Amino acid sequence: MANKKEEIFDETEELQEIIDPPEIDSKYRMIILAAQRSKQLQRGAVSRTDTDIRKTKPTRVAMKELKEKRVNFEILDQIL
């Protein structure tokens, strides 16, 4: 049985690549991705939306970035 794992690339890799993430296929994957991106924003990553990060919670910013497809990620299949 295969498990799927999400990975969000580092900021330096994303700036050099064209942002073309796959479709988010479930609300659970959206939550996991938003949590990972939120941690990046809390550690100082630059927001890719026009949202003021000082007035908006990092989780909301992350969800907006994912909705607008401004964050690269890939789904990795792992066999256990």
- Domain of residue 50 covers 2-79
- pLDDT for res 2: 47
pTM of the model: 0.70
pLDDT tens string, the chain, 80 residues long: the values are: 444 555 555 554 545 557 788 888 899 999 999 999 999 999 999 999 998 888 999 999 999 999 999 998 888 876 66
User: Distance between CA 74 and CA 25 in Å, rounded?
Assistant: 12
What beta strand segments (E) does the chain contain? 2-8, 73-79
- pLDDT for res 68: 93
Smallest CA-to-CA distance from 37 within 56, 10, 19 is with: 10
User: Distance between CA 61 and CA 78 in Å, rounded?
Assistant: 29
CATH number at residue 7: 3.90.940
Number of structural domains the chain divides into: 1
Distances in Å between the Cα of 13 and the Cα atoms of 3, 30, 51, 72, 78 are: 25, 21, 22, 9, 23
